[in-house]
Amino acid sequence: MPAVPTRYCRSVAARRSRIPATKYPVERFTLDNGLRVVLTPDRSAPVIGVAVVYDVGIRSEPEGRTGFAHLFEHLMFQGSENLEKLAHFRHVQGAGGTFNGSTHHDYTDYFETLPANALERALFLEADRMRGPRLTEENLRNQVDVVKEEIRVNVLNRPYGGFPWLTLPPVMFDTFPNAHDGYGSFDDLESATVADAADFFRRYYASGNAVLAVSGDIDVAEATELIGRHFGDVPARPAPERPDFGEPDLTAERRQAYTDALAPLPAVASAWRVPDPITDFAGYLPYVVLAEVLTDGDASRLVERLVRRDRSVTSLGGYVGFMGDPFDVRDPTALLLQAHLPPGGDVDKVLRTIDEELDRLVTDGLAAGELARTQARMATHLLRDTDAVLGRALRMAVLEQQRGEPGLLNDLPRLVGEVTEERVRAAAATLRPERRASIEVIAGGAK
C-alpha cells in the first residue's frame, strides 16, 4: 500500500476532530410589558417545548426565609387567576404533555413538553400564573409540608444528603446569599406567611424579570401572535435591581468535617473559585474543560490514579457549578471535585494526590489525544442535551436571561473544542491548596 502524504493525513485528522456545530434558528423580541421572548422553530417533529424562566433563585431569598425560592416554585403549581388547584396538571397531562419546574442558584424555571397543537394551551397556562398564582393560607401550609418532606427524603434521611451542594458553600463563602441552605430550615419555612409570598411574587415574578422560550414545531408568525394575545396584557412590572453577590476569593485553605449518621463510607469534596462565567467567559471555559479532563471516564487522570491505580477512592466526580450547571450560573461559582473513600480511607492522602496530579498536568501537559477526547465527549453531551426541544428551550431561555445571547447555544460545542492545552494548564495552575475549600464526611453508618 503506498504511503499517504503527511499533508493529507493532517487534513483528514483535522476534519475528523472538528466539533460539529448546530444551526438552530433564533427569533427574539420583547413585549411592551418587558417579557423577553425567544423562539426557535424546528418542524422535524410535531412536538414543542415551552419554558418560562424567572430571574430569581436561591441567592435572592431574604435572610430568615431560607428555602423560600423553592417553596414559591411549589406555590406556582397550586392554581392561578383563572384556574383552580391542580388544573395546570390536568390541562397539560390531558393534552398528552409533561411538565415540571426547578429552582437553581440564579433562576427558577417552569416548563412543558407538549404536542405542537397544544401550544396555545401552554401559553395560556403560563400567562395565567404569571398574572398571579393562587396564594392562600391553605396552599401555603400544604406546600410547606411538602417541602419539609422533600428535605426529609432528600437530605435528612438519605446517606450523604446535601453533599456537597448544601454542605460545601458555607465553607467556601461568607455571605448569606452564597452560603445559606437553599432547601431551607424548618423554622424558616414554617414561619413563612401569605404576605411574604405575595411580596416575593410582586418583587421577582414580574414580566420584566422573565424570559419565555418556545422551541419545536411552531410557525413563528402564529406563535408571535399567540404570545402577544396571552402575555401582552400581563401587567407590566420592571425587573428588580439584582444585587452584586460577589465576594473575595480565599487566601487560605478552609476545611471542615461532619459526621453523617447514615453514610457507610467517608467522603470528601473540594472546590476552587473560577472566573466570572458571564463577564469572563473565555477565562471561564478552560475550567469547565479541566473538570472533565480530570474526572470524565476511566481514562481521565484522577480516575485512573485514585480509583484504578491507588484505589484510595471508590468513586470520583468533577464539575463546575454547585448544581453541575456550568452554562447557566452566575458569579461566584466554583470547580468541584468529590470522592467517596473505602473504609478507613485517608482524606489527607486523597487531597495530596489531587495536588500532585494537578502539578503534573501543569508541568508535563496533557497526553496525546487527552484533550481532544475530552472535548469530543463534552460536545456530544451538549448536542444530546439540546437535541430535545425542551432542552433547547430551557438552555436558550437561560442564555437570554443571563447573557442576552440565546444563540450561544449553537456555539458552545465549538467554543469547548477551541479551548487549548495551554489554557487548560493555566487553569490547573490556579487550583492551589490555599484557594481550596473542603468538606469531609465522616462515616457514622459504617456498622
Per residue, the 3-state secondary structure of 270-335, as one string, reads EEEECCCCCCCHHHHHHHHHHHHHHHCCCCCHHHHHHHHHCCCCCEEEEEECCCCCCCCCCCCCEE
pTM: 0.93
CATH architecture of the domain 254-443 equals: 2-Layer Sandwich (3.30)
Q: What is the mean pLDDT of the chain?
A: 94
Closest CA to 296 of 372, 377, 357: 377
DSSP states of 177-227 as a string? HHHS-SS--HHHHHT--HHHHHHHHHHH--GGGEEEEEEES--HHHHHHHH
Residue 354, H or E segment? helix 347-364
Q: How far apart are CA 196 and CA 198, in angstroms?
A: 6
Q: How far apart are CA 134 and CA 166, in angstroms?
A: 30
Distances (CA, A) of 38 to 41, 75, 213: 10, 26, 5
Q: How far apart are CA 431 and CA 367, in angstroms?
A: 20
Sign of the alpha-carbon torsion through 383, 385, 388, 390: negative
Query: Please, which residues have CB within 8 angstroms of residue 432's CB and are 6 or more apart in sequence?
Result: none
- Asked if 376 contacts 19 with a C-beta cutoff of 8 angstroms, the reply is yes
Q: Note the pLDDT of residue 18.
A: 73
Q: How far apart are CA 431 and CA 337, in angstroms?
A: 11
Q: Note the pLDDT of residue 21.
A: 81
Superfamily of domain 27-232: Metalloenzyme, LuxS/M16 peptidase-like (3.30.830.10)
All cell numbers assigned to 33: 410589558
Q: What strands lie across the sheet with 334-340, from one edge to the other?
A: 254-260, 436-443, 267-273, 334-340, 315-320
- Tens digit of pLDDT for each residue in 208-267? 999 999 999 999 999 999 999 999 999 999 899 999 999 999 999 999 999 999 999 999
All cell numbers assigned to 332: 461566584
- Structural domain spans, the chain: 27-232, 254-443
**Side chain identity at 64, as an amino acid letter?**
G
- Asked if 33 contacts 234 with a C-beta cutoff of 8 angstroms, the reply is yes
Residue 445: DSSP 8-state:
-
Q: How far apart are CA 202 and CA 197, in angstroms?
A: 9
Omega of the bond prior to 238 within 30 degrees of 0, cis? no
- Tens digit of pLDDT for each residue in 135-185? 999 999 999 999 999 999 999 999 999 999 999 999 999 999 999 999 999
- Asked if 188 contacts 65 with a C-beta cutoff of 8 angstroms, the reply is yes
- State the helix-helix crossing angle for 408-417 and 281-295, rounded to 10 degrees: 60
Domain 254-443 in the same topology as domain 27-232: yes
In a 3-state reduction of DSSP, which class is residue 132?
coil
Q: Note the pLDDT of residue 3.
A: 40
Q: Note the pLDDT of residue 9.
A: 38
Q: How far apart are CA 210 and CA 52, in angstroms?
A: 7
Closest CA to 82 of 238, 230, 239, 232: 230
Give the mean pLDDT of 285-309: 95
- Tens digit of pLDDT for each residue in 399-428? 999 999 999 999 999 999 999 999 999 999
Q: Note the pLDDT of residue 447.
A: 57
- Band of the pLDDT at 20, cuts 50, 70, 90? confident
Q: How far apart are CA 260 and CA 442, in angstroms?
A: 6
- Asked if 211 contacts 37 with a C-beta cutoff of 8 angstroms, the reply is yes
- Tens digit of pLDDT for each residue in 59-81? 999 999 999 999 999 999 999 98
